[in-house]
Amino acid sequence: MQKIPLNLAKSGMRLAKAVFNEKGLVLCGEGVELSEALISRLSNLNINKITVEGHPVDTGVEEKPLEEQLKDLEKRFEKVKSDPLMKMIKDTIERQIRERMRTNI
């Protein structure tokens, strides 16, 4: 699963998550195959990003390995590690990183 800018979407890609408008209404359901017409309609509705199946687009950003991401996270929170609220925030971010890495494999 990969979140991509709509302008990088191509016909034939399949949505991994539903697309919602600003009011929370579903515009396209999960699993819908994109067509040029649908991409154009989403663009006209000011949809900027979509989540598609797989990793079809090279965004030019290489994701760091899990260990390196966790090391960076520790470094960012080093000065506030004694603050319980900041520890909760760090733990939440760490869970998100681990979950993202788990679902991307």
Q: Residue 22 carries which DSSP code?
A: T
State how far the Cα of 7 lies from the Cα of 68, in Å rounded to an integer: 30
Q: Where are the domains of the chain?
A: 2-52, 66-104
State how far the Cα of 6 lies from the Cα of 49, in Å rounded to an integer: 5
pTM > 0.95: yes or no: no
The CA-to-CA distance between both ends of the chain, in Å, stands at 9
The residue-averaged pLDDT of 22-28 equals 91
For residues 64, 7, 39 and 12, what is the CA-based torsion angle, rounded to 10 degrees? -50
CATH of domain 2-52: 3.90.105.10
59-94 pLDDT tens trace: 666 678 889 999 999 999 999 989 999 999 999 999
44-67 pLDDT tens trace: 999 999 999 887 676 666 678 889
